[in-house]
Every structure is written in C-alpha cells, then in structure tokens.
Structure 1
Amino acid sequence: MDWTLNLAFCPALQSHLYFCVFRPTPVIRWIKEGGELPTNRTFFENFKKTLKIIDVSEADSGKYKCIARNTLGSTHHTITVTVKAAPYWITAPRNLVLSPGEDGTLICRANGNPKPSIIWLRNGVSIAIAPEDPSRKVDGDTIIFSDVQESLSAVYQCNASNEYGYLLANAFVNVLAEPPRILTPANKLYQVIANNPALLDCAFFGSPVPEIEWFKGVKGSILHGDLYVFHDNGTLEIPVAQKDSTGTYTCVARNKLGKVQNEVHLEVKDPTMIIKQPEYKIVQRAGQVSFECTIKHDRTLIPTITWLKDNGEPPEDERFIIHKDSLAIMNVTDKDDGTYTCVANTTLDSVSASAVLTVVAATPTPAIIYDRPNPPFDLELTDQLERSVQLSWIPGYDNNSPITNFVVEYEDGMHEPGIWHYQTEVRGTQTTVQLKLSPYVNYSFRVIAVNEIGRSQPSEASEQYLTKAAKPDENPSGVQGIGSEPDNLVITWEPLKGFQSNGPGLQYKVSWRQKDVGDEWTSVIVANVSKYIVSGTPTFVPYEIKVQSLNDLGYAPEPAEVIGHSGEDLPMVAPGNVQVHIVNSTLAKVHWDPVPLKTVRGHLQGYRIYYWKVQNLSKRRRRHVEKKILTFSGNKTHGMLPGLEPYSSYKLNVRVVNGKGEGPASPDKLFKTPEGEVPSSPSFLKITNPTLDSLTLEWGPPTHPNGVLIAYTLKFQPINSTHELGPLVDIRIPANETSLILSNLNYSTRYKFYFYAQTSVGSGSQITEEAVTIMDEAGILPPAVGTGKVRPVYPRIRNVTASAAESYANISWEYEGPDHVNFYVEYGVAGSKEDWKKEIVNGSRSFFVLKGLTPGTAYKVRVGAEGLSGFVSSEDVFETGPAMASRQVDIATQGWFIGLMCAVALLILILLIVCFIRRNKGGKYPVKEKEDAHADPEIQPMKEDDGTFGEYRSLESDAEDHKPLKKGSRTPSDRTVKKEDSDDSLVDYGEGVNGQFNEDGSFIGQYSGKKEKEPAEGNESSEAPSPVNAMNSFV
C-alpha cells in the first residue's frame, strides 16, 4: 500500500493514521524500514492497530511495516509514505547596500517536494526579458553583481514555486556613496568598576563600509593587541579594565569618501567592599543587638545600604533602628530570629554580607541601676597633618545603658579661648574619628559620651595642636553696596571669624567701579572691619563691587562680583495724565503715566495714591478729612480704589516712591461716585409722648444714605396680649421730615413700628421699635377713703437716664401709675439686630445697675413693667467709658467710705427722731402766719400763665410740666398745693391716715391744702421724697 501526503495542505500539528486489521486479535508491532519511528510525534491507538504521526515533515517519508502475531501465526504489511511539500525558505534574499565599484550577491534558496523553481524579477519585471546588464549575472538561485554603479539600485524579487505553492521575497539593492558618520553621541561617559569589562561604542554608517580604528587620547597611538577586542559594529571592548584604563578614547571611521572621529570617556571606579561584615549574634529575649556593616567605596559614588531579613524586607517595627552603617534591634523577640543581610549598592556595583541572629531565653538578672556614662579618657592625636588629625579615645563605663554616640568638641585657644564648639558626632561603637582642621588654629579637643540617660561629663582636654598658617580659603559673605546719602556708596560685608582667617594679619581688599562705563577698578585695603564708604558718587548709579580677604601669607581666591547702587534721592517728577474711571459706586480705577526711570533716582518701589472724601453729596456739612493711602508695588500704571462711599466726592493724587521716599504729588483729581446700594437703616427711631390715641415718632437720617433720599416708609401694626400681630398700616413720609405724630390709635395698645428710608435704588434696611398708648380715664381707680394723695392709675415710665462707667451703668427712671409694680430693664448693643436682654428689678425701685458691659460700646436701654399690658418706655442710648490701662478703685466699695456713710446716716436718723419727738410734744404752731401766707386755693385768683387751673390737661402739656426737677425745687400739680406751702408735710405722706393728732396738732387738718373729696385729675408731681417723707415711712 502506498500513501502520499502533501505538506502543502498539512498545517502544523497535522497527524496521519495507518490501520492494520487482523482476526483473531493479534499482538501488533510497528517499525520503519531504514530508520526509527519519531518518538515524540508517534502515538498508537485502537490497541496498536492505528499508528498516528503528528507534525508530519519530509523526513517522515519511507516504508512503515505492521507486524502482527496471534495463535495462528504471524504476518506483516508494508505501507509506503511519500510526503509532498510546498516551497519553504532555506535562504531568503536580504537587502544589499553597495558603494559604486563594489561587488555583491543576492541569494534565494528554497526547498520543497518537488524542488521549487526560482524566477528573479527586477522592480516587478522578470530579469529574463530585461535588457542585459554587464554588472549583473543570474546564476540559478544567485545574482552576482560586479563593479556596480548607482543606476543599478532597484528592488529585486525572488519567486520560488512548485505545484503546491510559491514563495516571494523582496530585497532592495542600494548603490550608495556616503561618507562616514558616527552615530554614538560625542563625549559620552562610560563608568565601570575595576576588573570588569568595558564596552565603548562607536556606531557608524557609511558607504563604502568605513574602517574603524581606536586611539587612546586625542593624538595617541592606535590600539591593538591582546588587551583590546574590536567588534565589527565598531565597539571597543576592554576585557579587564584597570584604574589606568581611565581616560579619553578616540574612534576614527574612514572610507574613500572621507574620515570622521568621535571621543568618548572612560572612568574606572574602585569596587565597593564591606570591610566590616555583620557577625553571628546570640541575644536573650527582650535584649538588644546590633549588626555593623562598614563599607569602603569609590569616593565619587554614593552608596546606599539596605538591610534584609531572610532575604526580605525587615519588619516595619520601631524596634528596628537603621543607622548609616548599622542595624540595631531593641527588645528582641523570638520572631527576630533569622539571617540578616547587609546590601551595599552603588550605581555600578553591589555587594552583600550576612549574619545569623539566634534568640535564646532570658535569664533572671538582678536589679540594674542606669546612669549617664562615665567620661571618655586617654585622648590621643595621631596622623597629624596640616588640615586633618585623627583623634582616638577610650570610652568610660556606660553604667548599664549602652553608649549611643560620642560628641567631639574643640577649643580655639588662639582666637576664642575658653569657648568650646561642636566639631562632629560619631556612633557609640566608634572610638576614632578623622577631623578636618583649619589653618592657624590652636586646637584642643574633648569628647562627651551620650546614652539614653543623658550626656557624660566632658573628657579631659587633649593636647594642643597648632595648625600652620595659610592664605585665606574664603572671602567675606553678604557683600552689599547701598548708598546712605545721594552722593555716597556704603560697601558692607560679613567679616570672617577668627579661625577663618587662616593666618595673622587679616585684612580686606575692597574694589569698586561704575558699571558699564569701562573704568578701571579702584581698590583700597582696610583693616578687619565690616564696611567702607565711598564718597563723591553720582546719585543712584550701579557699581560693580568685590571684597577679597588677605593675610600675611597672601590673598584668598578671586571673589565674585556683586552689583550695588550709590545713594538714592527723592524722585524728581510726579506721575502725569492721572485719569479716574468709575467702575461702580464703591470702586474706581485710576490710570497714570509712569515717570521716566532716570527721574526716579532710586529703586522704583511703586506708586502711591492718596485719596480722601471731600463731601457726601447727600449732606451739606463738611466732614473731617481723613486721607487714605494705597501703594502699588512695581512699575504699574493703574490701580483700583475699593471701599468708596456711594454718592460722594473724592480727591486723589499719585506719587512715585523709591527707597528714599515719595516724589512730588500729581495735581489733585476730583471724581464723584454714583448712587450705590440701598441706604442703611435710619440712625435712630424714638417714640415719645404717648397719649390715649397718639404717639410721637422721631428719627434720624441713615448714616450711609448711599444716594439721595426720596422718602421714608413707616409701617406699624398692633400687638395683642398674646403677641399676635394685627393689620399692617403703611405710611409714606417726605424725606425732609424728622418727626411724625400718629393719631387715632387705640388706647392701652402696644404697636410695633417698621421704619426705613428709600432712594432711587430701592428701600434700605429697616429699624423696628415698639410702644404703648396709655389707658383711658375709665381705668382710673377711685381713691381709698382716708388715704392721702392718689397715684394716677395709667402707667407711665419716663425720663429713663443712664449714668455709664467703664463696665457698668446706673439706669434710673420716673414712674406714674398703680402701686406694687414689678419693673424690668431691657438692653442691647445699639444698632444690633440681636434680641433684647432682660434684667428683673428687685422690688419697686426706680433704678437698676447693669453690670458686665463692654467698655467703649454704645447700648440701647428701655424700662418696662410686668402685668401692665407689657408696656415699655422709649429707648435711651448710652455709651460705656473706654477701657483703662489699670483698674481704678471704686470708692463706693472701700471700707472706710462705707463706715463713714453709716456714721452720717446714724447721726441723721438720731436728729430726725429728736425733731419728731419735739413736734409731738405740742410746741407752738404758727397757724396765723400760715393762714396769712397761704389762703385757701379755692379763692386764690388764677395766674395768667397757668390756664389749666381746675381744668383737664392734655397729656402733651402734662408731659411738659413734669420735666426732671432741679435740685431743691418743687413742681406743683394741677389743683394741688405746693408741699413747701402746706401746713404740715407729715399729713401729705401720712401712710394712709387722715393726718389727725390727739394733741395740739389736731386742728391742723382744717388748714391742709388737701381736697379729699376731689378726684385727682392732674398728674402727680414727680418730686423726689424728702427726708421727712422718708422718716414718716420709717416710723
């Protein structure tokens, strides 16, 4: 049996099956004649009756024999397998770059079954029909080029095909003439570690292909020999780089069209080494342990040390403390057992070292006393050089607390004897340190040990070490040139400290010259000072300045130059063309032309605007002029003026500012702001003269009208006893009015008022107030039989006054109305919208002290009476005094003053008792004289100026008659007799009796000015009680 398998139609992993069938079922074996079955690609199925070969290739062609044996005998069968294949590449053609005159070949090799035929094409056209070219020869699967020219450049195609398929490949033949080019960047730096290979690149391009040569240095000899390896791509390899391999290497590329070269640099670094590796440690639980890892590295590389635990990151635990070259573990636990690795890395190499930590059980220890360490001792100076010395010491006892670090201090016995300075600090395990020194210093050193408890006492000072003098290493810092006057230049600097002088005879060379003029340097050598003044300079011109230090051994390095300026003078001219643009009612933008810089005569710091309000257009009176200032830094030509008041006139001027001060002001510029926001609330609202059906309102205009007032609006509504609001009444009032009498109101009714001003912009903030009309006469109670004078029943609180101090105020008032009334005082900050604060008055007193007030604050206050429809007085405004620097002594709280007042009161009381006793003993009473002096008021003629005698008086006139009394005066009420004219004042204030006496004074009642049968129609006098009245009440 023959089988033919076409690979052109067998994709990868294709398999093929062969069958053998026998009966009875035999034992089957497969073999391939002349070869072995492919082990990895052969599988048996169906009890070995099927041979399966996967991933078939041409090598699987051949004869396969199936041998079967059973109880009846054996037999075999041969199957011939032929594998056919589509073309596949052996060598595909590749792009070819040739230079004119060179030779080259294109190779196109393919295989298959049957073997494929090769056809060449040029730019898509078969070469067989193309014109012959003597520089090109086709030899089957190869094209040979010889002595090519640039016209030979083309794309060549190779077509390999058989009956099962074809392959097509393109190759570009480019005949190119190009001088050499080096593609590696110039001056590229290569860094390697010693004893490692170094690869220096010299990537190039050119046609013909350039030849590459390497040189060491710019003009060195060509490199060759076993020390170097030259790669075809131009790379130079140094297999084992040494320190002396460091240097500059030159790569030269040349062909017949030219030559080019490039330089690269090689630095060979010392390897990083661990000179002190971590050591194996055994530590008890709760103890502490430290691993050290000291490295040595190339001084130009920056190393980093990383610690690993069991090849992983150490735990993020504050017990693990990582220092520069050590790892400390505090309060060790069993989990800390393991391998610790120190890894030192640089940018070029890495080294590591490991140690094992074993944690064991802790053993009981006696109580330990911890203390500061003892001071180090045996200080020794070795390796004494001009600029360095090595200091070593022996640590003192640590007193059971490990030493964490040592502090090294030094004393300069030449320049600052007795003063110790900090030098350096090292870890607690280190007992030597290399110290850097300065020239011309007499050094002494001491060491202080530090542990967790504290610092030890300093060690004994080391021996003194005097370094040699030398030229200064540095120049003064902080060099500046700033003129203090218009014709000088003050050069200042920070002098060197003593140990910075490096030698005796420290001085400074001060040099200056005017900048951009081409003058020679002017120099002067001055002693060890910090400034020098150059006189006779032009005003504010730039100078180049430098200050160089020197001593007896020479000069410091050349100093850097700084730019300074001679002194400034006031600016010469004012900004011009000042313009104001109104942005809105509170904001304006100001523009001006900058002044010429040469007229500034100094550092231009900016422009300053002075502006002030001339007049508020809604008020005719002038106010105190308060100028405001705004400064705009830099060379600005405009600025904004915020916070202006609407509807106001302003003036401004602009000035230029330098370091010396301000220049002249520009001419004043007048501008006006338009009407702005709505007006503020009226400055006050007072409600006075309450009657049965009317109230008088007085107000002040808004503090900030922000425009022309066109009217006021008053709204009011009644409030009933449950504080419910009634209907709202709206009244419009002309803007020139300051008061209004509201009539036709309800009696004994509380009203709430809302009052605000209006401009063309709109309505402003409102102010609110409440007031109460008085009761009518129907509510007046008849007098009790046998009582004296009757107090009017309708309530009235007036003349509320405040006497203010720094933090308290005494509030007093006058009251008319029923007895046994409980008063309260309400107060708050004037102009505030917060609720009134309320204080209850103890008893029926007519005064109260408000405490805890803020100094220098305006307050509003009013007084009310509970149980009388909640009426209150009109408001009064007072202001507390300013806060004093120190607390003043209140004389009323002093013991001596209280004692004195008590003694005076006691004497007055005794005197009054004596007078009272003498009167009651029946002394003569001048009745006749009293009768002659005071006739019965019923028959006295009416005075011309008192038209209200015997008639009802209006509340308005009544209020006018009851103004506060002057000291010692009395004001008579209607249809009453003045108290000083009465027969006996004791009768008038007789605590509810008739004023009758059983002795000589019993007939006095006939001549009393009291009309018991007449109702009290007029208002009672508001006079204060006399001492006699007070006495009657007391008795």
Structure 2
Amino acid sequence: MVIPDSSPRDVRCAPLSPESLQVSWQPPPETLVHGVIQGYRLLYEPVPATEQHDIAEPRTKMTTALKTVLHGLLKFTNYSIELLAFTRVGDGVKSTRAYCQTKEDVPGPPAGIKAVLQDPETALVTWLTPTHPNGVILRYSVHIRVVDGGRQVDVRSISHHSPSHLQYQLPGLKKRLFYEFWVTAFTKVGEGQSSPVVSLTPSSKVKASIVSFGGAQLAAWKSDVRLPCRAVGIQELKRQWLVGDSPLNQQPRLNIAPDGSLLLSTVQRSDQGEYTCVVWNEYGKDVITYHLRVQVPPGTPLLLMTESTQHTLQLQWKLGDDGGSPIRGFVLHYKLEHGEWEEARLDGTRSTHVLANLRCGTLYHVYVTAYNRVGSGSPSKTLDVRTRGGLPLLPAPADLLLLNSSSVALRLSIWPDGGCPMLYYVVEYAPRLMEVDNWLVVSNNIVPNRVYVLSGLKPATTYKLRIKAHNAAGYKEGNYQFTTLSLLGESREPSPHQSLEDVQANANQDNKHNLARREQYYATVRKLPPSPGTLECIPEYSEDIRPYATFHVPGPQSSESTKLQTFVYRESDASPTVKSVKSEYCRVKKSHQCDEYDSFGSESDTEPGTSSRTESSNQLDDGGHHGDMSRSYHPPVSRLAKPLVNSIYPGPEWSPPTVDPLSSVERRPFQRRYCQTHLPK
C-alpha cells in the first residue's frame, strides 16, 4: 500500500461568524487513494496583515466527514486552509491553499492614549490604533468631559473622520477646570470598546511631554527602523537617547533625526535591546522606552537520515533557533548525484519527512533549510545518502553459460541483481584471436529473467564475451571467455598463443577427423573361415540392443561357421566397443562346433582374409592410437560431469581449475565372449 496520490477536491470555505469558518470538500478519486481513507486533516493558520505582524502558530483539525466548522478564530482575519486525506500508510497530497476571511465585528479599544498640554490653553490628545481592529476602521470618536469641583459641567463627543491621523487638539482650556478624554473606534458593524480615560489640568507652567508611545517594537533583519520621540512644552526642550543605561554614542548606523526620532539603518540582531528617550525642560521631564526585537532568519538545522529502503529515505531534523519569529516552513532540497535539485516544501510544525519514489541503490544529496517571515536560514550540512541496493554482481561462468558446438545459451535469469531489480542487458562478443577488437553487438536491450541464445558460432572456437548488466543503481560489466564444443561434443582448452589460422586449421582437421570416425562406426564385418554351424544370438536384456547391431554378411554355402563381430556404440561409454556373446541364448542351425574368436590386439586379429576396412575397425577397437585417431576422444557433453568448467575461460573475476574431462570417463577393456556352442573344449 502507498499513500493517496491525490488531494481532496473542490475545497470551499465560507464565514459563519467573526470567529468561525465552515469548510467543505469532496474526496479524492478512488483510483488514486490506494487504500481506505481513515479521515481528513485540515491545516489552517492566519495570514499576517503586514510584515510587522507575526504569524500565529498553524493549527490542525481532523475529521472523518466531508464538512467541518473551525471555531475560535481571530475576528476579521484571513486564513489559509489546506486539506489532505490519510490512510493507514500515511498522509496524502495536500490540496491547493484556500483562503477565507472571518466576518467583521466591532473593534477593540485603542492600544494607547495620551493627553498633554501643548501650551497653557491647548490640550493635545494622541492615541494608537486598536490591537484588534476586527474590521476596517472607518472613524474615531473623541469623548470629552469637563469637571468643576467634582461636578460634571460638559460632556461631548467629537467625530474624527481621519483614521490615519491619530491626534486631536482641544483649544480654549480654562484654568481651575479638570478635563477627561477617551477614544473609541468604529467599523461598519458599530462602535468598539473605549480606551482608558486620561485627564489633565491647565497650567501656565507647561512641562516637557512626549506624545509618542514606546513599548515593543518589532523589526526585520537588515531593515531600517525609526523610533519616534515627539515632544511638546514651552521653553527650550532637551533630549537624550539611552541604549540600556548608557548614553547613545553616534555610530555609522545610528542617527537622530531633526524631530528627535532615532534612526537605525540595516539593523542586526546585535541591535536589539532597550532604547530610551528622555526629554526635559525647567518644569519637568518625560521618558519613553522602546523594546526593540530584531527578527533574523532561522538558524541552521541538524539533519539526519534515520532509515532507508530501496525507494525511500526517512529524514529527521532539529532546529535550535527560530530567529525570533515563528517558523513558517521547511524546504527539503535533494537531487541525484548528477541530477537537478528538487524541493519538497513542508509545514513549520514538521520535523520528519520521507522522500519517496526514489531510485533503488542510488546516491542522493540532501539538505534542509528553515524559513520565517524574515527569510530562509542557513542550509544544513548536505548529506550523501543512498537508497538500499547496489550494482549487479557477476555470476559464475559455469552457472551462466551453456555451450554446444554452434551456440551458447546465457542464463540471464540467474544473474544476481545486487538488491535492485534488473532492467536490461547489453551483450557483445568477438573471436578471441582478432588482432583488432571488433565487438559485435548482439543486442543492447535484452530483457531480464530469460535465457538468451547466442547462435551462429563456429565449433571448437574461442570467443570473448562482454555483458553489461543494468539495474537502477547503474551497470556492472562482466568479461568472459569460452570455447565452443567440437562437432563431436568435445571440449578443448585453447592454446594461449594459438593464432586465428591455427584455429581455422584445427576446425578443418576436426571435420576430417569426424568423417573418419563416422566411417569407423560403419565398419564392415571381418570374414572368417567357415564354421560347421550357423549361430544366431538373441540379446537377453533391453540395454544390449544398440544402434549399431550385429552385421551378418551372407557368404558362400560352407560347412565352416562364419565368425561374427559386433560393433556397439554405447552412448554412456563415449567410445565404440565390441560386443561378443557369452552365456546368451543361441540357436544352432547346424550342429558344428563354434570357432573361438581371436582376442583383439593379438597377432591373429589380422588374418589373410581380413580387409582394410576390418583393420580400421580393429584400430577403433584398440582405442584409436594410430593415424587420425591420435587425438584424445571426448565424451558427449550430456555425459560429462562438468563440461562447462573446462570450456569456459572467464575474465579476471574467475579462474576455475583446469580439469581433464577424460579423466572422469572410465575406459572399459574389451573382453572375449563366447557363445555356448563355441566354448573351447
């Protein structure tokens, strides 16, 4: 079983409320599921409105239905939603991201508010936007209450229709009165919550006041940062910036703007910390502090391979430093040794991944990088990892090659694959004694698991054989050398210094030798003096019947019996023998005594009445040690114990011992046999 190859289809989402979304989908095609769907997993996360806002951690929900409702979401927030089906094997393919936004609601309170004296008769109110606007801010309302001696004398609200201009001036202040201020924001849904209430009392001695707001300040790595410090008050104002507890010294990347703001260029992580602005005059002072946090790309992950198979690599990684910003994801880079880089993009919550559908027994280069809102971090160390399996191995020649006189059969089905399935073979051959290698390509795409026959070879000839066995891990080249059998099935070892002309001469001589052998198999019957009776011998056992049976040549009518000589070619003996009869059933046509056969090899074997063909048959009976029979006779291949080992000469990988094939064949001596009627008295 494998994981689903397709994602859920027709993913749709719709807002139900400011804090919930409904998501529906259709299952992936059944043909691409590869199993039974156990359920669906939804991965959803808010999309940051600006780069200055951190993204929240991704969340996950599992269900077995084709519809679900996501609760507890942020108001008026855009969410990205991905969906996948999973089986017992694992998670399938993710769907394309779908985006959906929750509904608007009334806004939250402004994040901050200040009210200060700009001069003795003018108040300046400033505020911050709501932390959770929950919609589009259309306007603000500034609320003012005037108190005299603990008694409310005036309450009014002033609509402020410039959402980006976050301040309001109230002139005409009167001494001895007490002024209170608060601000609310509006969306299309309605008015939001109120800010805290701030107050002031008019005075002729206007102290130094800062109308900017300090607090947490988030900055991206290598960006430019501006820390405002806007102040009001009468008389000459003095201003100083502190880094930590120390006064700020002028540096190339740190400057103070004319309005008193601090400018930091190309901020580094070493720049994060506390920055304090102090403003004072003769009537008083004011202080604000910024807590600057610089977000940088993530650190370097530690990548490990935990398991491998023929087609998969299981990887695991660990990240120590997220760079001050939540990890949005990982990118796994991998490629073949001589291939192009590929990527697998993963969620920021993942710490393991299985690379699937890889090539068997193949080397891969793998590394991983992490990224956050700032960017990608440094890559991990590149791993050189290999899937299981390796190059094909080389089989033993005796297992691979089956020889005869005109062909060789290649048993490719027994070729060891090294752990990766075989793909194809390339087979080439050439005569061993060619002065210039002229390899003949038999085929460059022979399928595995079969027996391939290389035919059209010459008998008793030595050839070189080159086979390239290919699997997914590569190929292994095997070099072999073999000698075809002669026409009689003999196996011969080639002389290491034999020339091509010698090979051809030997082949011609073998042909002549084979013709001579054939003539000897059909040798005529030797005529002997007549005998008083005629003997007819009947075989007793079925194995006594041979292709070359008794030849009885009728002669002139005589009282002398004729001696019969039987030539029998036994397939198991690999040489012709003489079959005489002893203790067999004989029928005597005439009651004359049978003459005794002369023993082979004795002087009496050649009698005056013996023909030249009979002499040839006698030479055959003696084992063939004269004339063309001076060569050693080799039994048929089917009867040799190990014919391949003596005929195959592999390359440097194999060097089997040389064994004389005739040493295992027992030569049986010819024995004299008599018929009952011809036993010597």
TM-score w.r.t. length of structure 2: 0.31
Larger radius of gyration: 1
Relative contact order (alpha carbons < 8 A, sep ≥ 6): 1 or 2 greater? 2
TM-score w.r.t. length of structure 1: 0.21
